[in-house]
Amino acid sequence: MNGLGRTSLSLFGTIAVVAAVMAAATIWLVFTDPVTVANSVNQGDVSPLVRELASAVYQALRGLLKYL
């Protein structure tokens, strides 16, 4: 493979990993804090949802780094 092929594959891999992490965090948030998710969907305001998603991802990374 040439340099462009490797770069595009690594970019695709990075995007896929980020999408998978965000999907897992969203599912986790639906199970752990359904009121925030329901209010965000009902009101159309995504800022509390994004804040909770960021917090969930941060806590997961913090726990992972603490484990390592």
Q: Where are the domains of the chain?
A: 19-67
pLDDT 10s digits, 2-29 = 666 777 778 888 899 889 988 888 888 8
Calculate the alpha carbon distances from 15 to 10, 33, 39, 66 in Å.
Answer: 9, 26, 28, 25
Are residues 25 and 51 in contact, defined by beta-carbon separation less than 8 angstroms?
A: no
Q: Once rounded to an integer, what is the mean pLDDT over residues 37-54?
A: 84
Say if residue 1's pLDDT is above 70.
no
Q: Once rounded to an integer, what is the mean pLDDT over residues 56-68?
A: 86
Percent with pLDDT over 70 in the chain: 93
Distance of CA 2 to the CA centre of its chain: 31
Average predicted confidence (pLDDT) for the chain: 84
